[in-house]
Structures are given as structure tokens and as C-alpha cells.
Amino acid sequence: MEPAKIESVQKELDRLAKQDVFIHLETTNGAYATHNDESFFSSGAYIRNAKIQYEHGKITGPSPFRVGLKMDIGWVYAEGITHYEVDEKGRLLLAGHDFQGKLAVALEIGTTPFE
């Protein structure tokens, strides 16, 4: 993965808009991170292979970025995006890493389901 660049990510979001896509969205501050403080509250969210169609996607902010997908009836968004890549299947893979390099958020968009 390479550092997210607004122009590059926006181009990929535009490429995948207005068609059926599958998304993988995961946020965590516990599953990939380790915490020694027992009082720390850990939370996360996970969704895989949700089939959606978004009207347009947008990447905003100074890094770390927010990426939003506007649908007819609402939004899907991920906050804290720092890196991206397009894989060999043409899927847009977005990730946000914390200051220690641990994965904090992932948003992946593709035209085929994820394994």
C-alpha cells in the first residue's frame, strides 16, 4: 500500500460509482491492537460483502482522510484513511493505520465478492 493521495483515490472512487459493488468495512481499536490497560474500552465494526450501489464517492480532509459513498438512502463512510492500493482484481483497498502502524480502519470496494 502507498500513502493515500486525494486525486488517485478520487479517480478510483469515480471508476466504481453507479454500479453494483461489494464492500468490506472494518473498524477496530482492539482486534489488531494490543492494550495492557484493562480499563480500556475496545470497540469495532465489521461488514463484509455488502452489495451496494453508490451515486458518488468522495475523499476529503487533510490526512488522515474521510471517504464517503453516497447512496440513494444514506451514506457509508470510513474515517482515518491513510493508505490505498488497487489490487490485481481492480478492487480499491483503503486502510487507516494508527501512529504505531496498526490497522484501525479498512474500506475495500470491488465488483466481485471478497473471499
CA-only gyration radius of the chain, Å = 14
Backbone φ, ψ for residue 6 (5° rounding): -50, -50
Which residues of 1-115 form beta strands (DSSP E)?
A: 2-3, 21-28, 44-52, 56-60, 65-71, 74-81, 83-86, 92-97, 103-110
Yes or no: say if 83 and 28 are a contact pair by the CB < 8 Å rule: no
pLDDT averaged over every residue in the chain: 90
The structure's pTM equals 0.88
Report yes or no on 49 lying in a domain.
Answer: yes
Report yes or no on 115 lying in a domain.
Answer: no
Report yes or no on 94 lying in a domain.
Answer: yes
Task: Check residue 37 and give its pLDDT.
Answer: 53
Report yes or no on 60 lying in a domain.
Answer: yes
How many independent structural domains does the chain possess? 1
CATH number of the domain within which 26 lies: 2.70.180.10
pLDDT tens by residue, 19-71 = 999 999 999 864 444 445 555 566 788 999 999 999 999 999 999 999 999 99
Whole-number Å distance between alpha carbons of 4 and 63: 8
Q: Give the domain extent around 56.
A: 2-35+45-110
